[in-house]
Amino acid sequence: MKKILKIMLLMVLVAILASCGNKKEDEHKDHEMEESQAASSKVKGGSYIVNLVDTKGKKAGEATLTQTAEGVNVEVNATGLKPGEHGIHFHEKAICTPPDFKSAGAHFNPTDKKHGFLNPKGPHVGDIHNITADESGVVHEEVLSTMVSLAEGKSNSLFSNGGTALVIHADADDYKTDPAGNSGDRVLCGVIKK
């Protein structure tokens, strides 16, 4: 009888330990999935496609970056935004950790200027013109950033120092207030790196 009880206790203990291991493995997979959704520059015909994630770490669209003679064309296709204008900027670190994306650091600013196209001491290299979400919170828009490059080895390259991030804010950028144009919380983020 004692032997049977010992065997049963041992079986229960093994089942509990196995359950704990599976839970940790599932949590690890969830974390990896969130990271992989944000960290994804991939080449498609010379362009870089960057996954955009929301504050819950879920994919909410993508941006296609294409080098042109004038700069980098940014084609944004995203969902889940409030209708209206939104600030969009390149940030200095290739890290998008939800929910606030502060991990992306400040704006990409290798020339050490102030923020804003209307600021006499600006703009940041990472400043981009606002994008607009429709009444459904969807953005399908292209903007040109003339101050950055996809060419490696340049100080204004989006791949310098391990990469950068593309961040979309909750509100419109006023193009003059340092450091981010009063554009509000960071609501979407995507990592730009090779």
Say which of 26, 28, 30, 89 is annotated catalytic: 89
Banded model confidence at residue 38, pLDDT cuts 50, 70, 90: low
**Active site annotation includes 86:** no
Determine the pLDDT at residue 116: 82
Q: Which of 124, 129, 140, 185 is catalytic?
A: 124
Report the percent of the chain where pLDDT is more than 90. 64
For 139, the token pair is 């953005």
Known catalytic residue at 140: no
Report residue 63: phi and psi, to 5°: -125, 135
pTM of the model: 0.79
Residue 28 annotated among the catalytic residues of the structure: no
Residue 129 annotated among the catalytic residues of the structure: no
For the domain with range 39-192, which CATH number is right: 1.10.443.10, 2.170.150.70, 3.40.1410.10, 2.60.40.200? 2.60.40.200
User: Which residue, among 130, 141, 137, has the nearest Cα to 73 in the 3D structure?
Assistant: 141
Contact indicator for 143, 65 with CB cutoff of 8 Å: no
Residue pLDDT, tens place only, 57-82:
999 999 999 999 999 999 999 999 99
| pLDDT at residue 35, as a whole number | 45
Which candidate in 54, 86, 91, 171 is catalytic?
Answer: 91
Specify the higher pLDDT residue, 194 or 187: 187
Catalytic residue among 54, 86, 127, 171: 127
Q: Which of 193, 86, 180 is nearest to 141 (CA)?
A: 86
Among this protein's residues, is 134 annotated catalytic? Answer: no
**pLDDT tens-digit map of 161-175:** 899 999 999 999 999
Residue-range domain boundaries for the chain: 39-192
CB atoms within 10 A of CB 143: 15
Q: How far apart are CA 179 and CA 33, in angstroms?
A: 32
Q: Which of 115, 129, 173, 174 is catalytic?
A: 115
